[in-house]
Structure formats: C-alpha cells, structure tokens
Chains A and B, each alone.
Chain A
C-alpha cells in the first residue's frame, strides 16, 4: 500500500494563476481532509469530505475549492492564487466512523509558493 500520496511535491505559482493539488489514498478510507500549515499557525483545516461526492468547509475555506468524484481521490483547487496561499498543504484520510478511535493518515505534503 502506498498510503496517502500527494501530487505535486513542490510548486511555484504567480499571483492569479490556478492549479489543482491531487491527493490519493489506497486504504479505502471514507474521510479525507485538506490542511494548510503555516509557521506559528499549526495545521488548519481547509475542506474535508465524508464520502464520495460530498464536501464540506473547514476553518479556512476561502480561495479554495475541492472535489471528491472518486472515493480514493480528493482534489484541492486554487482558482486565482494569492501570496497569502503560500503554505505547505497536507492531505489526510481516516476510515469510516465517528465514535471509535480513528487516527488520521497524512500525505507527505505539497510545498506551494505564490509570487
């Protein structure tokens, strides 16, 4: 099993450009998440999905869109990148269930710089 993978690992964008970050997991997990991590701010939830075809907003959703067309993939889109979106982006997944112990498995991260 590859676990959670993210594409690309690094990217530099100019202000106003668009891009899509891809997250894929091969563990058949129901739940998937996108976080951003900035110095001194910890991990902040952008959007998440509780199953194929469903998405929901997290703590910092503005400027981002997501799609979960297939259970194994969770895409994060930036329609018009801004320097404030320079960050490290982590994808994570968990199996189904809210009442039992379920750790989150994280991908390796995507380091994005917006000039």
Chain B
C-alpha cells in the first residue's frame, strides 16, 4: 500500500519563505507531484520530481530524496495569492498505469 503524510496547516508571512514537507511509503515509485488548490477550485500542477535533487521553477522549488521517501515544496517571496492547499501526490510504478495517490494536503495561510 501507500501512505503519504504532510502537515495539515501552516501559516507564513508575506514576503517570507515556507517549506512544506511530504513523506511517503510506497511499494514502487515513479514520480512525485505537487499541486496547488485554491479554495473552491480544481488542483493545478506545480512540479514533478522523479530523480533526487532540486527542481526550481520561479518562486517555487521542489526537492526529492527517494532513499528517504521525502520531498518538500519551497515557496519564496510569499504573496497573499499563495494562500491555498498544497497537495503532494505519488505515482506508483508497479500499478502499470498512472493513477496518483494524493496526500491530504497542507493548507497554507499567508498573512500580512
């Protein structure tokens, strides 16, 4: 089976940096995704990691350590519009196709 853990809620200040952690246990691994979801809206893709290391995309970066079953999403220069839920999801290679397993999400509140 698979288990994905991430903090339920976080609060950070506008202009600051915040790191959202995700740990996972899976019988097979074929990639880790981060999605952003604003209240009442659909999830939208942020990042993808399949090899160890850091992937940077503007103000957002995502890190993966496969040996530790660990990833984090780093948000820099926080803006009020970054207030949203951030979903960590893992794709299981052994499944033979591409369904993602999602964590429960981390609700980030950015305050002035």
Contacts and interface: CB of A to CB of B under 8 A. Distances in A.
A106 B48 CA distance: 16
Interface of A: 31, 33, 35, 40-45, 48, 50, 56, 58-59, 90, 94, 97-99, 101-109
15 contacts: A31-B97, A31-B98, A35-B102, A50-B97, A56-B97, A90-B42, A98-B96, A99-B30, A101-B31, A101-B48, A101-B50, A102-B98, A106-B44, A107-B42, A108-B42
B93 A98 contact: yes
Contacts of B33: 103-104
Interface residues of B, number: 24
Contacts, number: 57
B52 to A, nearest CB: 16
B97 A98 contact: yes
8 closest pairs, A vs B, by CB? A42-B104, A106-B42, A43-B102, A103-B45, A42-B102, A50-B97, A106-B43, A101-B48
B110 interface: no
Interface in B55-100: 87, 89, 93, 96-100
